[in-house]
Structure 1
Amino acid sequence: MISTGPVGRATAPLARRNPVAKLAAALVFSFTLVATIDPVAPAVAIAIELAVLPLFGLGYGTLARRAWPLLIGSLGIVLTMVLFAADRTGAVLLDAGPITVTTGVLTSALGLVLRVLAVALPGVLVFATTDPTDLADALIQNARVSSRFALGALAAFRMLPLLATEWQLLGMARRARGVDAGRNPIARLRLFGATAFALLVGAIRRGTRLATAMDARGFDGGTPRTVARRQRFTVADTALVAGAAVLAGAALTVSILLGTFQPLLG
């Protein structure tokens, strides 16, 4: 079952900040790191993210359980770079026929992996410590986002556990009909594709019915709405966004001082 609720300690200093402030701080911190392709700046950024993790009320084990897809994706990035990278400069570390691993390839792969992790981890922290309903309310009240968009996104987010349950039901239904891939990897891949397509079709149909039902209940955004849960944007929330910008600038400054800064453009 996919959990869409917050898993952090709600009383932690940064966990109780305004959801829009946390989202803005994550965006500022992440996109600042896109300015460079060197491995030093994202490495410093990851160190900062891990250092502030207790302030969000999260444990390192919880973060690992939430971020394991990123780790798997990182391995895929390294493998892809080793196999298909055009730049093979530097000392040769491994020469096995068509596969040539050099220090230049590993440096490029390391920089890309660290940058992906540094950009993605703030988002993981935000959604692991924010209730989706509070986020939708804050987007409407503080960011002036259309209520139609915010409430529609909230409804879609709440449906994620249903997708996981439906995936399991589709698998059990196919096995009950005698459709099983066994140990054949090609048959497993084909079965995975068929199940994913069936899940996609079901999700589209359910989303269409949900959109019609929400419009029928007045969620179309054309009617003025009152606020039941007030989300206040305080001075501490502004300080969080400013602090994220300062820390991202510090990571870039360390890279510049060490002489490893490589601008993405130029």
Structure 2
Amino acid sequence: MSLLTPTIRPSVVARLNPVAKLAVALIVSCSLLLSIDWISAGVALLLEGVLLLWCGLSPRQFWLRTAPVWMAAPLAAITTVMYGQDSGATLWQLGFVSVTEGSLSLGLAIGLRVLAIGLPGVVLLATTDPTDLADGLAQVLRLPARFVLGGLAGLRLVGMFIDDWHSLTLARRARGVGDGGGLGGAVRRFVGPAFALLVISVRRGSKLATAMEARGFGSDEPRTWARLSVFGVRDAVLVGAGCAIAAIAIGVAVWAGTWTFVLA
């Protein structure tokens, strides 16, 4: 089991159409980008937590997949608190760094917004098989088959990309290359495998493109699909739940008087 292939337990959300999951993530994200206030983000995050209980990921995989979001949220909040726009009473100041009531509220809003936007997107897509997503994009959204299959092929190579990086690192370590300490050693350990991996990726991509063309993947003829992707009632319910989360979050923020339209 790896981070790219998590163990997904049978669940309601995991069995839904990937297009519905993608739609929910986009609806919630776009609604939260319309304003910067902590109430709408907090309400959305609370309601999203109910859906995430049925995501199908084990607790370990949930924390591993969402770890970057949990790290980015406090960093964004602290940066905004220290260097955001000052307003209201000054709570703390040291040189050009100041913390005010306004910057504190803004930092809290930014941190909650990162969580509310990032968590559902990461979790919903983590419970989606790439082939199912490609089937949904092509059959439900009617996207061009060439675009969909190209994206699927690239996504399937991500795991191979990571395996190549690991193999290159072990090979260089076995030859004693880039073992120096300090910042210079760290740079050499990154730059060397990165350049080699770039060359390997370009060659592999060219070979894959040629192979796909030879098999008719670039044809403009109507394409058939091995698996049928159906957008059913349960998928519509999930999209409706996403719309409800966005509407409730915005409604509560407007009722509380904290809603501030960013384009106004």
Give the TM-score taking structure 2 as reference length. 0.89
Aligned residue for 2:109? 111
Ranges in structure 1 where 5+ consecutive residues have no aligned partner: none
* CA distance, structure 1, for counterparts of residue 252 and residue 33 of structure 2: 15
RMSD (CA atoms): 2.3
2: CA distance between counterparts of 1:208 and 1:75?
A: 41
Q: 2:159 aligns with which of 139, 158, 161?
A: 161
Q: Counterpart in 1 of 2:124?
A: 126
Worse-superposed segment, 137-146 or 223-232: 223-232
Cα 1:184–1:41 change in 2 (3 A) is same
Once the 2 structures are TM-superposed, how far is the Cα of residue 59 of structure 1 from its aligned partner? Answer: 4.2
Match of 1:27 in 2: 26
Structure 2 CA distance for partners of 1:197 and 1:99, relative to 1, 3 Å: farther
Aligned residue number for residue 226 of structure 2? 228
Q: CA deviation at 1:199?
A: 2.4
One-letter amino acid of the counterpart of residue 127, structure 1: L
User: Could you tell me which residue of structure 1 aligns to residue 67 of structure 2?
Assistant: 68
Report the 3-state secondary structure (helix = DSSP H, G, I; strand = E; otherwise coil) of the residue aligned with 1:35.
coil
The answer to whether structure 1 residue 51 and structure 2 residue 85 are counterparts is no
Distance 1:86 1:117, change over 3 A: closer
Q: Return the alpha-carbon distance in structure 2 between the equivalents of residues 94 and 72 of structure 1.
A: 24
TM-score with structure 1 setting the length:
0.88
Distance 1:205 1:77 in 2: 38
CA distance in structure 1 between the aligned counterparts of 2:2 and 2:27, rounded to whole angstroms: 28
**Distance (Å, rounded) in 2 between the aligned partners of 1:248 and 1:116:** 15
Residue identity opposite 1:23 in structure 2: L
Identity of aligned residues (%): 42
The equivalent position to 2:149 in structure 1, one of 136, 148, 151, is: 151
Tell me the matched-pair count.
264
User: Matches of residues 127-206 of structure 1 in structure 2 within 5 Å?
Assistant: 127-180=125-178, 182-206=180-204
Alpha-carbon distance in 2 for matches of 1:56, 1:159: 25
Structure 1 CA distance for aligned equivalents of residues 191 and 81 of structure 2 = 28
- Structure scoring higher RCO (CA < 8 A, sep ≥ 6) equals 1
Deviation at 1:99, TM superposition (A): 3.3
Label 1:191 to 1:89 Cα distance change in 2 as closer, same or farther (>3 A): farther
1:73-122 deviations in whole A, cap 9, x for unaligned? 22432454355x25233444443444333333332222222212211222
Q: Measured at CA, do residues 73 and 221 of structure 1 come closer, stay the same or move farther in structure 2, by a change above 3 Å?
A: farther
Aligned residues of 1:141 and 1:231 also touching (Cα < 8 A): yes
